[in-house]
Amino acid sequence: MNNKQQIEKMTDMMSKFIALVSYKLPDDVENKLKELSDEETNPLAKTIYNTMEENQNLAQELKRPSCQDTGVLQFFIKCGQNFPLIGQLEKILRDSVYQSTLDTPLRHNSVETFDEYNTGKNIGKGTPSIFWEIEEESDKVEIYTYMAGGGCSLPGAATVLMPGEGYETVVKFVLDRMTSYGINACPPLLVGVGVGTSVETAALNSKLALMRSVESKSENENAAKMEKLLEDGINAIGLGPQGLKGAKSVMGVNVVNTARHPSTIGVAVNTGCWSHRRGKITFDSDLNYEINTHKGVKL
């Protein structure tokens, strides 16, 4: 395959992968929704979980998005320095979003800010969003694909705390957002908490937290403790599925942290909704692929 053929092949595969992410939830989310549904005793909540399951089954059968809001596409890439299409990857991803917009189809969700027109392509200034990490001595690429819907993005917030405010204030900040805006994000939620120096490092960490499995735990013991405390605290609100009351509010709480300036605690929160459409695909240098989040599924 020459370079042009490789670009076409990867664009086509990424377009199909975006379609897959739109209509099939990742295995961890499917399993967790089933678990929450089985545990639920509130009759209305139970009915909503059953409707969600039926919705998912139909979405897969018809190959149509499981929610009408297919979001703004966001990609989190770990790219080996020797991956052959490293220089073309941004264009490949943008073109695949456009292709998937036509084929899947995806809702038109890219409005040029201030000019106030919808591009109709899901491509605009800075969209899709692409975040890079370069890996040394590697020739593969790992791509997390995420559909950032309006409702699930709405509770997002970031701030910088004085260090004296401590980690208790991190918890308070997250709980305040969840009690005021959590309901907008179609619970049960996956809550991502980021901690770092400033708002943008905390915000990126909070979104990376949403890329982790709903059952995962932070490797840092204290962060894992905060995850558990927040999970119990947010569950105690009893939002239930779609915010109509129920036993649980969340699928999980994930905390991602980086080192921070000694004089600040940057904190951010981001939420994923019940229809948490994220997928991870890995390509080797010959463009053989593996879908890490949806076992046994082929493009």
Interface with ligand SF4 in residues 21-80 (CB under 6 A): 67, 69
Q: What is the dihedral of CA 102, 275, 204, 113, to 10 degrees?
A: 50
Question: Is residue 253 near ligand SF4 by the rule CB under 6 A?
Answer: no
Q: Which of 185, 191, 208, 269 binds ligand SF4 (CB under 6 A)?
A: 185
Provide the token pair at 10. 């990867």
* Shortest separation between residue 185's beta carbon and ligand SF4, angstroms: 5
Of 278, 221, 224, 279, the closest CA to residue 255 belongs to 224
Q: Which of 105, 151, 233, 238 binds ligand SF4 (CB under 6 A)?
A: 151
Classify the C-alpha dihedral 64-68-72-77 as positive or negative: negative
Supply the angle between the helices 43-62 and 3-23 in degrees, to the nearest 10.
Answer: 150
Classify the C-alpha dihedral 73-8-125-281 as positive or negative: positive
Interface with ligand SF4 in residues 256-285 (CB under 6 A): 273, 275
Q: Which is nearer to ligand SF4, 40 or 142 (CB)?
A: 40
Point out which span in 129-137, 150-158, 168-176, 231-239 binds ligand SF4 (CB under 6 A).
150-158
* Shortest separation between residue 130's beta carbon and ligand SF4, angstroms: 20
Q: Which is nearer to ligand SF4, 78 or 277 (CB)?
A: 277
Q: Which of 149, 156, 196, 241 binds ligand SF4 (CB under 6 A)?
A: 149
Residue 128: is the preceding peptide bond cis (ω within 30°)? yes
Of 146, 201, 149, 203, the closest CA to residue 173 belongs to 203
Give the residues lining the site for ligand SF4 (CB under 6 A).
67, 69, 149-152, 185-186, 273, 275
